[in-house]
């Protein structure tokens, strides 16, 4: 059974809750039991959230590589390829951030 701290939003399995919220130190009475629907939504979103986080890290890596390639200035073809990689990685990074924000807004995080 999942419970949510109404003070800070931390979600934990009920057996992990003792006297106080481990994040904000609110009294344990400030936790409410999540509905079956809320629990299912959160549980189902764990994989997607993990994948989005990994993809965001890969996009950050692509940004760094593209910036190094652009700075190297070897030849126009390489520069063009690195510039395209940079634009695509920045777009992907922003799309991931937007999707995560949607998940947070729907309490699927």
Strands of the sheet with 11-13, listed across from one edge: 11-13, 2-5, 31-33
The pLDDT, as a whole number, for residue 109 is 77
Q: What is the mean pLDDT of residues 92-97?
A: 97
Q: To the nearest whole percent, how much of the chain has pLDDT over 70?
A: 100
**One-character DSSP codes across 56-100:** HHHHHHHHHHHHHHHHH---HHHHHHHHHHHHHHHHHHHHHHHHH
The pLDDT, as a whole number, for residue 107 is 83
- Kindly give, in sequence order, each residue whose CB lies less than 8 Å from that of residue 98, ignoring residues fewer than 6 positions away: none
Domain chopping of the chain, boundaries: 1-34, 46-109
User: Which tokens hold the place of 75?
Assistant: 């030849």
The pLDDT, as a whole number, for residue 108 is 83
pLDDT digits (tens, 9 = 90+) for 4-51: 999 999 999 989 999 999 999 999 999 999 999 999 999 999 999 999
The pLDDT, as a whole number, for residue 89 is 98
Computed over every residue of the chain, the mean pLDDT equals: 95
| pTM given for the model | 0.75
* Dihedral, 55, 61, 65, 66 alpha carbons, nearest 10: 50
């Amino acid at each position: 059974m999942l419970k949510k701290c109404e003070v800070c939003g931390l979600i934990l399995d009920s057996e992990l809750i003792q006297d106080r919220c481990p994040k904000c130190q609110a009294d344990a009475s400030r936790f409410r039991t999540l509905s079956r629907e809320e629990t299912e939504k959160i549980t189902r979103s764990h994989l997607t959230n993990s994948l989005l986080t990994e993809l965001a890290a890969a996009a950050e890596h692509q940004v760094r590589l593209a910036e190094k390639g652009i700075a190297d200035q070897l030849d126009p073809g390489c520069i063009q390829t690195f510039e395209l990689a940079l634009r695509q990685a920045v777009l992907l990074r922003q799309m991931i951030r937007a999707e995560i924000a949607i998940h947070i807004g729907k309490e699927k995080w």
